[in-house]
């Protein structure tokens, strides 16, 4: 694998602000990896996303130090629009990105702007519609569908342009648990079938953790921790102290560890937790006999 | 709700249809007592928000009745209803429209035609309860953080001194620490000031931690209504509302055969049970 994204000694300060929004960030991401980014509001997660797809420094005024390199080129070296074909961003408020009167037009809009042939547009539309289950909604206005459907349309519209890197900024913030799961199901399919590099910014960790190869924790503009997912959560005490609350099952096993009745890895899912708990109690029973 | 107490809100055979004929609520029966902390849960579109807007008189029943403090919502002026049941919008920006926080909070009391010195007293009280500093009184609400805007939105409802406060999705877009702050604040309104709190939310760990009663809705009906642990223990019924219990409850259920209670709501409770079960082993 080659590094698709390389960020070196990167600091960004928005104009007229004293504190840098991002401070001395170093991050390397291999192609095909799924990175989960967590951190409190205002910690710099969205600024990082904008820095990777060139909205920063292109559309914002500020002072930049260090380098952000995507697919072998610094973001400033790309022709206008070329970087955005490589890196797609799905915004947390899907309505912010809608422009068309029907879902179908919405999905086609980006591809038309890239100057694709009609045949190719048709082919990709079919692919993206089946991937995100949007067939029944194609003729509806995007503002008349539910929040979960809107977030799937926003995702599909970016996906249709087949960017190498997809960045999703709180893609499920407004959704009920089932709709949330469906968005993550689409992401799981992408990861499995498309080898997309995916970066997801999320507060809700339960759905994110099973998909994430690596996790990053941002705080006050700094990248505090970045590691392979299981190793990342071995720092659970520090994360909790800094206001991150891992899923219940993981917290439960952290308590068992503190009580010195468990010493294994922390489970990432309920299934893992169930197995570990059964094994642990069986061992207790065995040890007592 | 204790049996010897008359419910503060009584919903009887409520049906609600929107003007286009869509039936949003079907045969709702619900009693709500004073001092309860309730979570309304269910999929988007299940009727939670519509029911809330019926409870504060914004929507009138198509069939059936809603009695609040003995007053029928069909015949009681909205100004009387909103003094009893306040509704805080999911997005505070849909509700805030004045150019400074003071006027925002004063809008409700002025609208129900209270004298200006009474308005002043109520604004000051509400601002104090939500922790809005006096420095912010003259500030435009849109310059505050979302958490603070939410507090201004709640203050504007509190100024009407309703017994019941309904808060729609209070933690959307908030990080974990901010979510706990908002919920702790609602809990203090419940425990220290006796307000009945109804929270509409998709976040089950929040429900498990704060709500003493859960009303689960699906397709405009109430499918489950009871103490939080009992509702979450009914996995199959709950699945019909497309809701999964919190992860700790799911874990307890998957090892229920070892003696864990399927209605376990907190990590601490799970640890306590573990200790007992491990000691017996």
The full set of domain ranges for chain B reads: 9-241, 246-281
User: Helix (H, G, I), strand (E, B), or coil: what is residue B88?
Assistant: strand
Residue B263 is predicted with a pLDDT of 95
pLDDT at A289 over 70: no
- Name which of A257, A250, A245 is nearest A273 in CA terms: A250
Please report, to the nearest 10 degrees, the dihedral formed by the alpha carbons of residues B153, B155, B158, B160 taken in order: -80
CATH architecture of B9-241: 3-Layer(aba) Sandwich (3.40)
Percentage of the residues of chain A whose pLDDT score is greater than 90: 54
Residue A97 is predicted with a pLDDT of 76
Looking at the complex, report in whole angstroms how far the Cα of residue B65 sits from the nearest Cα belonging to chain A. Answer: 29
Find the DSSP H helices in chain B.
48-55, 78-81, 101-111, 116-130, 146-158, 176-193, 204-210, 228-233, 235-240, 247-254, 267-280
Looking at the complex, report in whole angstroms how far the Cα of residue A104 sits from the nearest Cα belonging to chain B. Answer: 23
Residue B264 is predicted with a pLDDT of 96
Residue B10 is predicted with a pLDDT of 97
Q: What confidence tens digit (pLDDT) does each residue in B138-193 have? A: 888 887 777 788 888 889 998 998 999 999 888 877 788 878 888 998 999 999 98
Residue B1 is predicted with a pLDDT of 47
Of A20-24, A45-49, B88-92, give the lowest mean pLDDT range: B88-92
The full set of domain ranges for chain A reads: 3-246, 247-289
Q: What confidence tens digit (pLDDT) does each residue in A128-137 have? A: 898 888 888 9
Of A243, A251, A278, Cβ closest to residue B267: A251
Which residue reads 């503190």 in tokens?
Answer: A258
Let me know: does B141 contact B149? Beta carbons within 8 Å: yes
- Measured CA to CA in angstroms, residue A278 lies from A282, A287, B119, B274 at distances of 6, 14, 61, 11
Q: A3-246 adopts what CATH topology? A: Rossmann fold (3.40.50)
A288 pLDDT band (50/70/90 cuts)?
low
Q: In terms of CA atoms, which chain A residue is nearest residue B170?
A: A174
pLDDT at A8 over 60: yes
Residue B25 is predicted with a pLDDT of 95
- Of the residues B91, B179, B254, the best mutation for testing chain A's interface (the one with the most A CB atoms within 10 Å of its CB) is B254
Instruction: Give me the sign of the Cα torsion angle B208, B49, A156, A48.
Output: negative
Q: Which helix (H) or strand (E) holds A190?
A: helix A177-194
- Of the residues A146, A203, A250, the best mutation for testing chain B's interface (the one with the most B CB atoms within 10 Å of its CB) is A203
Of A180, A255, A274, Cβ closest to residue B267: A255
**Which segments in chain B show pLDDT lower than 50?**
1-3
Contacts of B246 in chain A (CB under 8 A): 248
pLDDT at A144 over 60: yes
Residue B214 is predicted with a pLDDT of 97
Give this complex's ipTM: 0.85
What is the rounded distance in angstroms from the CA atom of residue A186 to the CA atom of residue A189?
Answer: 5
Q: Do B172 and A173 touch (CB under 8 A)?
A: yes
A98 pLDDT band (50/70/90 cuts)?
confident
Q: Which helix (H) or strand (E) holds B41?
A: strand B37-41
Residue A6 is predicted with a pLDDT of 95
Q: In terms of CA atoms, which chain B residue is nearest residue A241?
A: B177
Q: Do B251 and A248 touch (CB under 8 A)?
A: yes
Backbone angles phi, psi at A200, to 5 degrees: -120, 125
Residue B143 is predicted with a pLDDT of 79
A29 pLDDT band (50/70/90 cuts)?
very high
């Amino acid at each position: 694998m080659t590094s698709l994204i390389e960020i070196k000694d990167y600091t960004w300060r928005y104009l007229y602000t004293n504190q840098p929004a991002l401070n001395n960030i170093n991050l390397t991401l291999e192609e095909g990896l799924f990175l989960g980014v967590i951190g409190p509001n205002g910690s710099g997660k969205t600024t990082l996303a904008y820095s990777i797809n060139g909205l920063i420094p292109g559309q914002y005024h500020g002072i930049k130090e260090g380098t952000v390199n995507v697919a072998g080129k610094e973001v400033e070296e790309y022709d206008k629009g070329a970087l955005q074909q490589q890196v797609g961003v799905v915004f947390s408020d899907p309505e912010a990105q809608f422009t068309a009167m029907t879902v179908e037009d919405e999905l086609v809009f980006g591809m038309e702007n890239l100057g694709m042939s009609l045949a190719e547009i048709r082919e990709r539309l079919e692919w993206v519609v089946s991937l995100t289950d949007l067939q029944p909604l194609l003729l509806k206005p995007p503002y008349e569908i539910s929040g979960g459907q809107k977030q799937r349309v926003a995702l599909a519209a970016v996906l249709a342009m087949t960017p190498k890197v997809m960045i999703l900024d709180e893609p499920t913030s407004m959704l009920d648990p089932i709709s949330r799961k469906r968005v993550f199901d689409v992401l799981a399919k992408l990861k499995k079938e498309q080898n997309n590099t995916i970066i997801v910014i999320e507060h809700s960790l339960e759905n994110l953790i099973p998909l994430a190869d690596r996790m990053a924790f941002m705080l006050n503009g700094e990248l505090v921790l970045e590691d392979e997912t299981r190793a990342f959560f071995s720092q659970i005490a520090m994360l909790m102290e800094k206001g991150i609350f891992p899923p219940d099952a993981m917290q439960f096993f952290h308590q068992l560890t503190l009580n010195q009745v468990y010493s294994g890895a922390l489970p990432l899912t309920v299934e893992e937790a169930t197995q570990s708990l059964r094994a642990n109690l069986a061992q207790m029973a065995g040890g007592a006999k | 709700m204790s049996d010897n107490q008359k419910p503060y809100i009584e919903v009887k055979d409520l049906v609600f249809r929107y003007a286009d004929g869509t039936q949003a609520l079907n045969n709702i029966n619900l009693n709500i007592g004073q001092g309860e902390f309730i979570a309304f849960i269910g999929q988007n579109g299940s009727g939670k928000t519509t029911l809330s807007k019926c409870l504060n008189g914004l929507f009138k029943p198509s069939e059936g009745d809603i009695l609040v403090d003995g007053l029928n919502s069909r015949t009681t002026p909205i100004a009387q209803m909103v003094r009893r049941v306040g509704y805080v919008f999911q997005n505070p920006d849909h509700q805030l429209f004045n150019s400074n926080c003071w006027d925002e909070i004063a809008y409700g009391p002025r609208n129900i035609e209270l004298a200006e010195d009474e308005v002043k007293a109520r604004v000051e009280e509400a601002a104090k309860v939500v922790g809005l500093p006096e420095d912010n009184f003259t500030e435009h609400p849109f310059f505050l953080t979302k958490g603070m805007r939410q507090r201004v939105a709640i203050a504007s409802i509190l100024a009407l001194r309703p017994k019941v406060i309904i808060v729609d999705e209070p933690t959307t877009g908030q990080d974990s620490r901010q979510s706990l702050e908002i919920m702790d604040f609602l809990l203090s309104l419940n425990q220290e000031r006796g307000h009945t709190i109804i929270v509409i939310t998709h976040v089950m760990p929040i429900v498990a931690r704060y709500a003493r009663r859960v009303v689960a809705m699906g397709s405009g009906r109430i499918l489950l209504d009871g103490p939080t642990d009992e509702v979450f223990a009914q996995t199959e019924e709950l699945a019909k509302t497309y809701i999964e219990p919190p992860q700790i409850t799911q874990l307890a259920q998957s090892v229920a055969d070892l003696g864990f209670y399927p209605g376990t709501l907190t990590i601490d409770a799970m640890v306590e049970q573990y200790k007992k079960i491990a000691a017996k082993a």
